[in-house]
Amino acid sequence: MESARKLVNGTAAALPDLTTERFPHLERGDFAVLADRHLRFFEDLLGTEAVLTDPVKVAAHNIDWDRHARGRGSVVLLPASTQQVADVLAYCNREKLAVTPQGGNTGLVWGSVPVFDEIVLSTQRLNEILHFDEVSGVLTCQAGCVLGDLDAYVRKRGFIVPLDLGAKNKCHIGGNLSTNAGGVRLVRYGSLHGSVLGLEAVRADGTVLRLMNTLRKDNSGFHLKHLFIGSEGTLGVITQVAIQCSVAPASVHVLFLGVPSFPRVVDAFRASRAALAETLSACEMMDAECMSVVVDKLGYRHPLQSDSPFYVLVETNGSDAQHDREKLAKLLQSVRDADIATDGVLASSEAEMHTLWEMRLRIGKGLWADGCLYTFDISVPLKMYYDVVPELARHLRDNGRPVTRVCGFGHMGDSNLHLGVTTPTFDPELLEWMEEFVYDWTSKRCGSVAAEHGVGFKKNRFVHLSKTAPALSVMKGLKDLMDPNGILNPYKVLPLGLTGKSC
């Protein structure tokens, strides 16, 4: 297994504990156990090269991106067509074999890896771009296309994919839809529920649901595609996608501000939205701790003259560089005059913009240098957005829980905070202790315990903190309707035996 360790997240870190060892009371579902006859069926159907059983090759498909979870799957299937996906699922449904659909496996909630011995159904060979309409800007492709590849493809034709996130060069568009990925430019380009026009998904019983609408307006019956966007592979396996691309901006600018307090960060966001309006494409924040990490651990040069308690990155996507620069210069002047920002710089080259973005996007990478990183992905109303960071730090200190660092960064435009805590080594008991605190805190503020990363296995114990009992009951009804044998991504998303919140 030594070489398997190297496959995981590109590092030689120790293998994580098996998920079943960390959660010993979890019961395996009433599924069949994989047998030789099943493997022979899959090899006959897909060809032997599409049925991975070599433990080294299978290992990377069992381990989550953040290296906190490890499943016990022993086979990975690589279908190359919708029909093959349908045939695999029809068989698994008949035989009661559990299946974990997997895209680029970059999720952060242990949603795309097995818990027990589920079969991994990878979309990596479903990687064909099917069509791009240069008039409408609608791209159709298979689910296993890598997001960054799609973006590069449409950029050559004057468009961009309306979704951008750190994992873009590895994540699959099908996984993006399944997890309803948000990313850094949602404030401008909106959610996938708005930009995905159609999709094709295979139900648990192998039925192909072809919903490949390519038109922006379609009210011909129930809007079934939304069942699959954000349900993390528990209601069906997405095999194709039709997405409305946006016109590529002719001009991109980045402004970086040093801000003296969190209320001024909110003011900076409001001022940016008012001044930049339709050109505002991102408004990101990071605290001083995050800045010290990227400077000290990753070696970036501090972009401003002086330290500040908070930093805000403002990006514009516009169609006229001179107009955009004028708007930004006015904004910079006004936030300085109003003491919203004490320092600020407007990137003067593409390289400078790239570096400023890298500093924001590589915070997680920097935090890992402390040894181990625990992240929490929550949404809360803006005025209380940052409160959880000092409150958790105090709570840890008061309870004698030593940690290396507590910090916050995230998307101001979407009220989405990424809370990061580091320790020298992974401590599952500490993680559980913090989860209780953070999710309870979030729930009491009517926030979401799963903002953009989803629920997966990591958070299914906490879903009831953001969903009422009647909502959980409808979720259960949908699961029973779409997947009566429960073979699709078991143990994920749906909580067991919980009652839901009342607010």
178-237 residues near a copy of itself, rule: CB under 8 A: 179-180, 182, 186-187, 190-191, 193-195, 203, 207-211, 213-224, 226-227, 229-231, 235
Per CB under 8 A, does 414 bind a copy of itself?
yes
327 contacts a copy of itself (rule: CB under 8 A):
yes
Q: Which of residues 238-277 bind a copy of itself (CB under 8 A)?
A: 247, 249-250, 266, 270, 273-277
Q: What tokens appear for 206 in the block?
A: 């192998």
List Cβ neighbours of 429 (8 Å cut-off, separation of 6 or more).
none
Q: Which is nearer to a copy of itself, 115 or 275 (CB)?
A: 275
The string over 322-334, giving b where at least 16 C-beta atoms fall within 10 Å of a residue's C-beta and e elsewhere, is eebeebbeebbee
73 versus 174: smaller Cβ distance to a copy of itself: 174
How would you list the strands of the sheet with 310-318, edge to edge? 343-346, 251-259, 310-318, 280-287, 405-411, 416-423, 372-379
- Residue 323 as a binder of a copy of itself (CB under 8 A): the answer is yes
User: What would the two tokens of residue 124 be?
Assistant: 């990596």
Which residue, 371, 377, 502, is CA-closest to 446? Answer: 502
Q: Residues touching a copy of itself: how many (CB under 8 A)? A: 95
Identity of the residue, 356 or 465, whose beta carbon is nearer to a copy of itself in the bound complex: 465
Collapse the DSSP code of 39 into the 3-class scheme (helix H, G, I; strand E, B; otherwise coil) and give the result: helix
Stretch that binds a copy of itself, among 92-100, 114-122, 367-375, 441-449 (CB under 8 A): 441-449
Q: Measured from the CB atom, is 108 or 359 closer to a copy of itself? A: 108
Sequence-separated (6 or more) residues with CB below 8 Å from residue 89: 99, 121, 202, 203, 204, 205, 206, 237, 487
Q: Which of residues 54-93 bind a copy of itself (CB under 8 A)?
A: none
CB of 424 to a copy of itself, least distance (A): 31
Least Å distance, CB 396 to a copy of itself, is: 24
496 binds a copy of itself (CB under 8 A): no
How far CA 333 is from CA of 256, 318, 477, in Å, comes to: 13, 20, 55
User: Which residues within the stretch 138-167 sit at the binding site for a copy of itself (CB under 8 A)?
Assistant: 158
Of 47 and 194, nearer to a copy of itself (C-beta) is 194
Residue type, 264: R
Helices (H) and strands (E) in the chain, counts: 18, 18
Contact 361, 411 (CB under 8 A): no
Looking at 72-80, 289-297, 361-369, 407-415, which segment touches a copy of itself (CB under 8 A)? 407-415
Of 54-62, 167-175, 319-327, 363-371: span binding a copy of itself (CB under 8 A) = 319-327
- Nearer to a copy of itself by Cβ, of 57 and 216: the residue is 216
Strand 99-102 to 119-122 pairing: parallel
Nearest partner of 417 among 439, 394, 395, 444, judged by Cα: 439
Interacting span for a copy of itself (CB under 8 A) from 344-352, 363-371, 399-407, 473-481: 473-481
